[in-house]
Amino acid sequence: MKDEALKVINDVLSKGRKALVEYEAKQVLKAYELPVPDEKLAKTLDEALEYAKELGYPVVLKLMSPQILHKSDAKIIALNIKNEEELKKKWEEIHENAKKYRPDAEILGVLVAPMLKPGREVIIGVTEDPQFGHAIMFGLGGIFVEILKDVTFRIIPIEEKDAWAMIKSIKGYPILAGARGEPPADMKALVDMMLKVSKLVDDLKDYIKEMDLNPVFVYNEGEGAVVVDARIILK
Amino acid sequence: MEMPKIVEELKPFFEPKAVAIIGATNKKGKVGNVIFENFKRNKEQGIFKGNIYPVNPKLDEIEGYKVYKSVKELPDDTDLAVISIPAPFVPATMKDIAEKGIKAVIIITGGFGELGEEGKRLEREIYEIAKANGIRVIGPNCVGVYVPDTGVDTVFLPEEKMDRPKSGPIAFVSQSGAFAAAMLDWAALAGIGIGKMVSYGNKIDVDDADLMDYFIYDDQIKVVTFYIEGVKDGRKFIEAAKRITKVKPVIALKSGRTEYGAKAASSHTGSLAGADVIYDAVFKQTGIIRAEDFEHMFDVAKAFAKCKLPKGDRIGIITDGGGAGVMASDAVAKFGLKMAQLSEETLKFLKENFPPHAVAGNPTDVVGDTDAQRYKIAIEGFVNDPNVDAILVIVLFQVPLLNEMEIIEILSEYAKKSEKPIVAVAMGGKKTEYYAKLLEEKGVPVYPTPERGVRALAGLVQYAKYLKKIEGE
């Protein structure tokens, strides 16, 4: 677990970088058995076409560049690509957009990912406090976190009861518990993720400064959850 | 129970055999004079049982007490030194203290780290001497320690300007000296008993975590209150907090709710994590009850000092005024508690014994023509009802047929014998305040508004829930 994650982290550090791109961050998460989509990094268009075929359309393309951390601002994500033709077109488009946004952008490759079915969005994050050390954050995603700041924190390491208390303490909890006839979300999967994040950060506390798993899609009870996008900042 | 080292180490601060007052003077109003006067007064009253040794190179005696020229001359039974000499002279005095073998030092003097680099350097020097010689230090830049039972009183605000509270089961720890002094003065007026007060100022050594560990083993203390500005060693604080909240409740008032670090953060999470939310997290995880303001802190502390812990969060309300009952019910919802559903038996019991115009239910309204016996019926019903976990009794002493002393007796009797916490609310003026004080002296916490009464109960419920949660492990 730790060794695999450290390999990714040391690799990034050796290149003089502090921020892991999504692909690298997800490798670290994967090392701790956090659920990430089945996705691959394509270096060439041919590789991308091959991976898309393996996954089956529709797919998503996300361009990976250490200089561009706000992917949607730079328009380097292409969603819901239905066939090869479209993939070729979008491949060109996101590369052009990257160049426009940051002419000096180094491109590590393009992440070819399955088009995920939408779930309820949550955010799991980590920050480091100068007095108390690392803390984990949980909240509902989207406007709930952006505008209402409906989030809660605990100091790492957390225990299972802490994770449950966090989920239940946010104002938006009824959305997860199942409001207006909706079935409940898979909160057990979220608790499991939070505990894994806690362990990951506890193991790697000398390296990790901040972390966002945002968004995480959580599906109905028994159907799990998945990290859609991730960012890790090193010390 | 095996006592940890910290108990031995901190004991001289609270019950010294002999105290050296370094910087004692006969000049009225000087810090070194007020502290000397405090000890002298307490000695004369038979409260302070130890010896008092003033230290001042320029004096031979102060008010009949022999003055020692230096620390070196001090008798060997000296086990506590209180320092009020200017900051630049403190390191040299610390060296003498180390040589003398005194292991507990309170540095009242200001002008250290709070002023800048030179002060910080002095602090480091003092800390290193302390560390190397096994000396524990409270301060600098503080008012120190107040223990009514042993007569230790280093609070340099003279008694004629600041009242001292009576003893009691509450410990009060404050980073700020001014706040500590103001709170002691206020607690004296409010009749709140403080068993031990510590104000540690710049806390170069003894900190919140040390004090929490000490209070675990202090049988006099039932509840610990903290006024905190900042914590230096977060992990140590968390560990100590977890230890003490297993056995005693802790209430903290944390100031400085401003956001920091938001600009520097590169992640979403970092931008949302101000100091305040992190403290919230720490308090939640360690079972510390966070107070919104000092009234809240002492309201809850008072409830812990006098009440048993509730088994659940279902509140029963008894009132002799409809409006106050509604206010209390609103507060129950506001603080996340539940209104108890009275059992059929209780309702039957109340209806059978009430006149037709009194309202059996929750709230139960004994109405304005009540006497003390009608209250007794209501309380009896609530105490025996398995659906009620805690009871709030609103007593408007102003109603004409209510015998004040009788209702006070009834409440105090039930508070003693019932397994459930009972708190009272008495709204009114001078006369009400008089009876409220009597009621409190009889062991029932009294609050001036329904909201504050319910908020105090919410503190009890929160702690009881935390205990249940950790016992489940």
User: Cα B453–B456–B462 angle (5° rounding)?
Assistant: 140
Per-residue pLDDT at B1 exceeds 60: no
**Do strands B364-365 and B338-339 pair parallel, antiparallel, or not at all (unpaired)?**
unpaired
Backbone angles phi, psi at B104, to 5 degrees: -130, 125
Distance between CA A235 and CA A231 in Å, rounded?
A: 13
Tens digits of residue pLDDT in B58-67 = 999 999 999 9
Band of residue B361 on the pLDDT scale cut at 50, 70, 90: very high
Mean pLDDT score, B429-440 = 95
Are B166 and B111 in contact by the 8 Å Cβ rule? The answer is no
Task: Give the one of A127, A161, A210 whose C-beta lies nearest to B469's C-beta.
Answer: A161
In sequence order, the 6+-apart residues with CB closer than 8 A to the CB of B285 are A154, A155, A158, A162, B238, B242
CB contact, 8 Å: A211 with chain B? yes
Choose among B395, B389, B383: nearest CA to B349.
Answer: B383
* Amino acid of residue B387: N
Are A19 and A234 in contact by the 8 Å Cβ rule? The answer is yes
Would you tell me the crossing angle of helices B404-417 and B372-384 to the nearest 10 degrees?
10
* Amino acid of residue A137: M
Mutate to test the interface with A, among B263, B269, B288, B473 (most CBs of A within 10 A): B269
Mutate to test the interface with B, among A129, A145, A232 (most CBs of B within 10 A): A129
* pLDDT at A142 (0 to 100): 78
Local structure of B105: helix, strand or coil: strand
* pLDDT at A126 (0 to 100): 96
Q: What is the H or E stretch that residue B314 is in?
A: strand B314-319
Backbone angles phi, psi at B106, to 5 degrees: -110, 120
Choose among B312, B280, B447: nearest CA to B386.
Answer: B312
Burial track B278-295 (b if 16+ CB lie within 10 A, e otherwise): bbbbbbbbbbbbbbeebb
Cβ contact A162–B277 (<8 Å): no
Distance between CA B444 and CA B224 in Å, rounded?
A: 19
Cβ contact A129–B278 (<8 Å): yes
Two tokens at A122? 């949550």
Distance between CA B198 and CA B302 in Å, rounded?
A: 18
* pLDDT at B135 (0 to 100): 98
Two tokens at B72? 């070196």
Which residues in chain B touch residue A133, judged by CB atoms under 8 angstroms apart?
234-235
Cβ contact A127–B265 (<8 Å): yes
Percent of chain B with pLDDT over 70: 95
Map out the domains of chain B with their CATH numbers: 309-471 (3.40.50.261)
Cβ contact B272–A161 (<8 Å): no
Q: CB B387: neighbour CB atoms within 10 A?
A: 15
* pLDDT at A148 (0 to 100): 81
The number of C-beta contacts closer than 8 angstroms across A and B is 86
Backbone angles phi, psi at B321, to 5 degrees: -140, 130
**Do strands A40-42 and B18-22 pair parallel, antiparallel, or not at all (unpaired)?**
unpaired
Band of residue B262 on the pLDDT scale cut at 50, 70, 90: very low
Per-residue pLDDT at B263 exceeds 60: no
* pLDDT at B114 (0 to 100): 82
Distance between CA B150 and CA B47 in Å, rounded?
A: 6
Two tokens at A8? 């990714």
Backbone angles phi, psi at A120, to 5 degrees: -75, 135
CB contact, 8 Å: B469 with chain A? yes
* pLDDT at A127 (0 to 100): 94
Instruction: State pTM to two decimals.
Output: 0.91
Per-residue pLDDT at A131 exceeds 90: no
Helical segments of B217-366, H only: 234-245, 268-272, 275-286, 294-306, 322-334, 344-353
Tokens 């190179």 correspond to: B57
For residue A40, list its beta bridge partners. A112
Half-sphere exposure of B115 (CA within 13 A, CB side): 13
Which residues in chain A touch residue B280, judged by CB atoms under 8 angstroms apart?
153
Cβ contact A129–B266 (<8 Å): no
| Secondary structure of chain A as H, E, C letters | CHHHHHHHHHHHHHCCCCEECHHHHHHHHHHCCCCCCCCEEECCHHHHHHHHHHHCCCEEEEEEECCECCCCCCCCEEEEECCHHHHHHHHHHHHHHHHHHCCCCCCCEEEEEECCCCCEEEEEEEEEECCCEEEEEEEECCHHHHCCCCEEEEECCCCHHHHHHHHHHCCCHHHHHCCCCCCCECHHHHHHHHHHHHHHHHHCCCCEEEEEEEEEEECECCCCEEECCEEEEEC
Beta strands per DSSP E along B76-204: 80-83, 104-107, 136-138, 144-147, 152-153, 170-174, 194-199
CB contact, 8 Å: A151 with chain B? yes
* pLDDT at B437 (0 to 100): 94
Mean pLDDT score, A11-23 = 95
Q: Burial level of B273, CB count in 10 A (0-12/13-18/19+)? A: buried
Average pLDDT over chain B reads: 94
Cβ contact A125–B272 (<8 Å): yes
Mean pLDDT score, B338-366 = 97
CATH code 3.30.470.20 region(s) in chain A: 120-234
Per-residue pLDDT at A75 exceeds 70: yes
CATH code 3.30.1490.20 region(s) in chain A: 38-115
Which residues in chain B touch residue A153, judged by CB atoms under 8 angstroms apart?
273, 277-278, 280-281
Tens digits of residue pLDDT in B371-393 = 999 999 999 999 999 999 999 99
Task: Give the one of A69, A137, A211 whose C-beta lies nearest to B272's C-beta.
Answer: A137
- Chain B nearest-CA distance from A133, in A, is 7
Tens digits of residue pLDDT in B126-135 = 999 999 999 9
Q: What's the gap between Cα B36 and its chain centre?
A: 25
Distance between CA A28 and CA A25 in Å, rounded?
A: 5
**Do strands B152-153 and B104-107 pair parallel, antiparallel, or not at all (unpaired)?**
unpaired
Q: Which CATH architecture has domain A38-115?
A: 2-Layer Sandwich (3.30)
Percent of chain A with pLDDT over 70: 100
Two tokens at A205? 């506390």
Tens digits of residue pLDDT in A145-201 = 878 888 999 999 999 999 999 999 999 999 999 988 899 999 999 999 999 999 999
Tokens 């320092």 correspond to: B83
Higher-confidence residue of A48 and A144: namely A48
**Do strands A120-129 and A208-218 pair parallel, antiparallel, or not at all (unpaired)?**
antiparallel
In sequence order, the 6+-apart residues with CB closer than 8 A to the CB of B357 are B367
- Chain B nearest-CA distance from A110, in A, is 22
Q: CB B384: neighbour CB atoms within 10 A?
A: 14
Distances (CA, A) of B120 to A130, B87, B183, B230, B436: 19, 11, 28, 17, 48
In sequence order, the 6+-apart residues with CB closer than 8 A to the CB of B349 are B377, B380, B381
Mean pLDDT score, B136-159 = 96
Place domain A120-234 in its CATH homologous superfamily. ATP-grasp fold, B domain (3.30.470.20)
Which residues in chain A touch residue B285, judged by CB atoms under 8 angstroms apart?
154-155, 158, 162
Local structure of B269: helix, strand or coil: helix
Distances (CA, A) of B289 to A136, B136, B241, B293, B459: 20, 28, 11, 12, 7
Backbone angles phi, psi at B331, to 5 degrees: -65, -35
Tens digits of residue pLDDT in A99-120 = 999 999 999 999 999 999 999 9
In sequence order, the 6+-apart residues with CB closer than 8 A to the CB of B155 are B34, B35, B38, B143, B144, B146, B162, B164, B180, B181, B184, B197, B199
Distance between CA B288 and CA B280 in Å, rounded?
A: 9
ipTM: 0.84
Distances (CA, A) of B200 to A186, B204, B232, B235, B440: 48, 9, 13, 19, 30
Cβ contact B273–A214 (<8 Å): no
Higher-confidence residue of B197 and B257: namely B197
Chain B, 254 to 283: residues with Cβ < 8 Å from chain A are: 265-270, 272-273, 275, 277-278, 280-282
